[in-house]
Structure 1
Amino acid sequence: MTEAEIQNILEKQHKFFQTGQTLPVAYRIEQLQKLKDSIIRHEPDLNLALKADLGKSETESYMCEIGLTLSELSWMLKHIKKLTKETVVPTPLAQFAAKSFRSPSPYGNVLIMSPWNYPVLLTLEPLIDALAAGNTAVVKPSAYAPSTSRVMQEIIEECFSDEYVAVVTGGRAENQALLNQRFDKIFFTGGKTVGREVLRHAAEYLTPVTLELGGKSPCIVDSTAKIPLAARRIVFGKYLNCGQTCVAPDYILCDKAIRDQLTDAIKSEIRRQFGKHPLENPNYGKIINRKHFQRLQGLIDSSKVVIGGQSDAKILRIAPTVMKNVTWEDAVMGEEIFGPILPILTYESLDDAIQTVESHPHPLALYFFSEDKAAQKKVLDHCHFGGGCINDTIIHLATSAMPFGGIGESGMGGYHGKAGFDEFTHYRSIVDKKTWMDLPVRYQRYNKFKRKMLRMFLK
């Protein structure tokens, strides 16, 4: 799509938004219900597309993409009437007589740029929040998941006219053309490098931005942890979608005393969950493309591999891999892994572990396995991260009741449920001042009595 075509879409969306048609709650509900019905109809198509792009099984596709998307839709449909209501707040005595309230208002024309690793969830979930808030939207899915992008385009075009929701496909040229435009809000999910570029372009028009990025999310395991259960949950979270998950445990930081026990338990769990030959497991996914595959291959130090390391370049699969005796000087610790490689590092004391985490950029997620309540509180009090779990991994993002987002280099802003509605909404502060009386205190000429009244009101 050319820049001129993109500009034409934006002009149409701006005119459509100005008509006020997106504002009635009944209209928003109708559009969200249409989207929900279409997703359900196209579920088989989405399954096939996710299998083609990422090798996802039907179960994983529903559990991590389609099902979570439908859950967000259901939550929004249930709560949208409450979310769109004005909220009355207390009025200061000095402003008597008046009514004060917060009035939710959509931003207008929003841009949603989504990644390839969870192409359905990370495209449609912010779209749901944007439409619930009353906006129009331009959606730009990743070019690296072409099959899924085609199905989502079919779903969106089946539900909406492009003056309301438009899909722009393509690669860098289209991304650049979109970022050159003036939007009222930008929502970007992806890597830090592109995230910085998005922020630079948004600064040109002072456009508010939500950035959902990533980072090296640590998984701390102390000596009190239930090792077999910890291993099971770590293996699930790490190797889901072949590790191509923004909140996957990037590395383990465990008490030195339990390293070997934990390593053995993780090896056992990999065999249990994926079999002796994971590359032949039909429910194990694949790496998104050859470039990413080769990058991951370069992060594996065969001398430190304790399980895995096998790969098949023809089908872009890398077996679940664990490395130990890893240090921060190893290549695997120099960047976000975003693949099925799990380095294991150790610490002498919990204070050392906390210092290690805090000496690096704030991660998107942090996981802590421990039965020690005091240790749990200490980690939560002293570590800064987007969100996480105690005694589990990744499941904190699978709810509309809590916001999901990063901090520092791992992102800004959060969404899901009410937080998602808020992210696409400007709350106007309104004072409805009554006309049946008018306190004279604020008006000149000032005198001693007025100063006394002001001090009584404002203190």
Structure 2
Amino acid sequence: MADTPALLDAARTYFASGATRPLDARRAALIALREGLEAMEGELLAALRTDLGKSEFEAWTSEIMLVRQEIALVLRRMRRWAAPRRVGGRWFHFPGRAALRMEPRGAVLILGPWNYPVQLCLVPLVSAIAAGNAVVLKPSEVAPATAAALERLAARCFAPGHVQVVKGGPDVAVALTALPFDHIFFTGGTETGRKVAEAAARNLATTTLELGGANPCIVDASAEPAVTARRIAWAKFLNAGQTCLAPNHVLVHESRAEALLGALRETVTRFYGPDGHGMQRVVNARHLARLKAMLARGRVAHGGAVDENALHIQPTILLDPDPALLREEIFGPILPVVSWRDRAELLAGLSALPQPLALYVHTRDRGFADAVAEALPSGGFCVNEHLVHCTVPDLPFGGVGPSGQGRYHGQAGFEAFSNARAIFHQPASIDPPLRYPPYRTPLSMIKRLMG
């Protein structure tokens, strides 16, 4: 197993050298990452195909593009984000000056997932570098070819100790989270997120937890079936459904249920072919077995064929699902569809659910969309769209409650890896006696002045 204490020691030593603090050094590191990403693009795309069966188009648009976009945004805005911010005070603070200064946390740990192993490792890495930290990055062992490529990328782009990539399984992750890092950034499942939070709490380390959840998709009577079906199918079956933001299940008004179901069947066939093999495979045999067992928890209305040798399951529509399935994160190409009739009952049912990472609604009724958003808090909320909110550079991304804690992307990511330090400067030459004992000013006057 990796010598995890040595990794932390190397990160602390590099951070203590002061090399990460100058903005010009941070900028140079990000430019090196951008150039390394470009030089190794073919290698990374090949690794994603090996690990996940991703097509070049989907791998580039859902992984490489988002990292490049994040680097570009940070290079434009980093100096502004890092600059001290003046903060107004009260009259009795005069002539003192208050400010907020963003400072790096120090040695930070990033634990990445397997489903988008380039994007979800490198986007937080961009934020951590921009904020001036030294980083230990552990990619998922479930995507080993990508983990190896990321290790080569880090060695190419960064000085020893600045960014260290460590490979290994859950034992390495457990050993790392037991160490006193200054911040831990984790992307993965809710149960593992709880364990990371517990381990971090023992060292009083701060955390950003990007988790998941059973993201509902609500379709009302005003939605247009064909467009709605295209957007749902694209978001659900992208990456074989292995997307934390994917719509988990569809709740459709009974007046649109038949039309939507027909449009979904037609759309899925057009997207992925009659046998569904136009969609990529799932990650491994363990996840395929988990998904195969879910097929028995409802009535298959489309798809459902499983090719265990190819690690492939057809894009599947499931009717009459087990109600418990609607509270689980499916994380695969199985889409339960349930009809609803009464708006009040729908909203009451939503309000009883755990807060998801995303909530989706298809409607032309702004009032209905607002009612859905009010019924169920979520990390993100989209009307007549899916996933796209996470590609808006200036929108913070993250969950709420069981779907996550903290935000990143853009300025939110910079701040997640920074300590906001309160600064106050007071001239030594002015020192009114009002606050010092023995107190001679009547309290009644103090109340009037300070109230």
TM-score between the two structures when normalised by the length of structure 2: 0.97
Residue 364 of structure 2, aligned match among 360, 363, 371: 371
CA displacement, residues 26-56 of structure 1 (integer Å, 9 cap, x when unaligned): 0000000000110011111111111111111
State the one-letter code of the partner of 2:377.
Answer: H
Matches within 5 A, 1:5-24: 5-24=3-22
1:294 & 1:205 partners in 2: Cα distance? 37
Q: Which amino acid aligns with 2:227?
A: L
Distance, in Å, in 2 between the alignment partners of 1:429 and 1:195 is: 30
> Take 2:127 and 2:449, find their aligned partners in 1: how far apart are those partners?
40
Q: Which runs of structure 1 show a deviation greater than 4 angstroms over 4 or more consecutive aligned residues?
A: none
- Asked if the contact 2:105–2:417 (Cα under 8 Å) also holds between the matched residues in 1, the reply is yes
Cα distance change of structure 1 residues 302 and 80 upon mapping to structure 2, 3 Å threshold: closer
The counterpart of 1:298, out of the listed 293, 303, 313, is 293
Question: Which residue does the alignment assign to 2:447?
Answer: 455
1:258 pairs, out of 256, 265, 275, with 256
- Residues 74-111 of structure 1 show CA distances to partners (whole Å, capped at 9, x for unaligned) of 00011001011000011211122101000101110100
Structure 1 residues 292-348: Cα deviation after superposition (integer angstroms, max 9, x where no partner): 00000000038611110012111101111001122404xx43521000000001222
Aligned residues: 451
Cα distance in 2 for residues equivalent to 1:39 and 1:228: 38
1:328–1:334 contact (8 Å) kept in structure 2: yes
SS of aligned partner of 1:404: coil
Aligned 1:142-221 pairs, distance under 5 A? 142-221=140-219
Structure 2: distance between partners of 1:186 and 1:373: 39
Residue equivalent to 2:304: 309
AA aligned to 1:311 is V
Report the Cα distance in structure 2 between the residues aligned to 1:26 and 1:333, rounded to whole angstroms: 49
Distance 2:137 2:386 in 1: 29
Q: Which of 74, 92, 95 is 1:94 aligned to?
A: 92
Alpha-carbon RMSD across the aligned residues, in angstroms, is: 1.3
Where does structure 2 lack aligned partners over 5 or more consecutive residues? Answer: none
Distance 1:56 1:223 in 2: 36
Contact 1:302-1:309 at 8 Å conserved across structures? no
- Residues 48-447 of structure 1 aligned to structure 2 (within 5 Å): 48-279=46-277, 281=278, 284-301=279-296, 304-329=299-324, 332-333=325-326, 335-447=328-440
The alignment partner of 1:39 has SS state of: helix
Question: 3-state DSSP class of the match of 1:428?
Answer: strand
CA distance in 2, matches of 1:351, 1:133: 46
Superposed CA offset, 1:255-294 (max 9, x none): 1221111111111110121122222x2xx21110100000
Letter in 2 for 1:220: I
Letter matched to residue 317 of structure 2 = V
Give me the whole-angstrom Cα distance separating, in 2, the residues matched to 1:11 and 1:393.
Answer: 42
Structure 2: which amino acid aligns with 1:320?
P
Equivalents in 2 of 1:372, 1:303: separation in Å? 31
Does the 8 Å contact 1:115/1:142 carry over to 2? Answer: yes
Deviations 1:98-155 (A, max 9, x none): 0100010111010000100000000000000011001111000000001111111110
Answer yes or no: is the 8 Å Cα contact 1:388–1:394 preserved in 2: no
Q: Residue 109 of structure 2 contacts residue 185 of structure 2 at CA under 8 Å; is this kept in 1?
A: yes
C-alpha separation in 2, matches of 1:255 and 1:163: 56
User: In structure 1, what residue type is equivalent to 2:299?
Assistant: K
- Structure 1's unaligned 5+ residue stretches are none
Kindly state the Cα deviation for residue 160 of structure 1 after the two structures are TM-superposed: 1.2
Shift in Å, 1:454: 2.9
Query: What is the DSSP-based 3-state SS (H/G/I as helix, E as strand, rest coil) of the residue aligned with 1:183?
Result: coil
Q: d(CA) in 2 for partners of 1:71 and 1:188?
A: 21
Distance in 1 of aligned mates of 2:298 and 2:140: 36
For 1:169, what is the secondary structure of its paired residue?
Answer: coil
Give distance in 1, aligned partners of 2:265 and 2:296: 17
State the alpha-carbon separation in 1 of the partners of residues 296 and 51 from structure 2: 28
- Distance (whole Å) between structure 2 residues aligned to residue 303 and residue 131 of structure 1: 47
Counterpart-to-counterpart distance in 2, 1:87 and 1:404: 23
Q: How big is the shift at 1:360?
A: 1.8
Q: Name the aligned partner's letter for residue 17 of structure 2.
A: T
State which drifts further: 350-359 or 229-238: 350-359
User: Deviation string for 1:354-392 (max 9, x for gaps)?
Assistant: 222221211111100000011111112222111021001
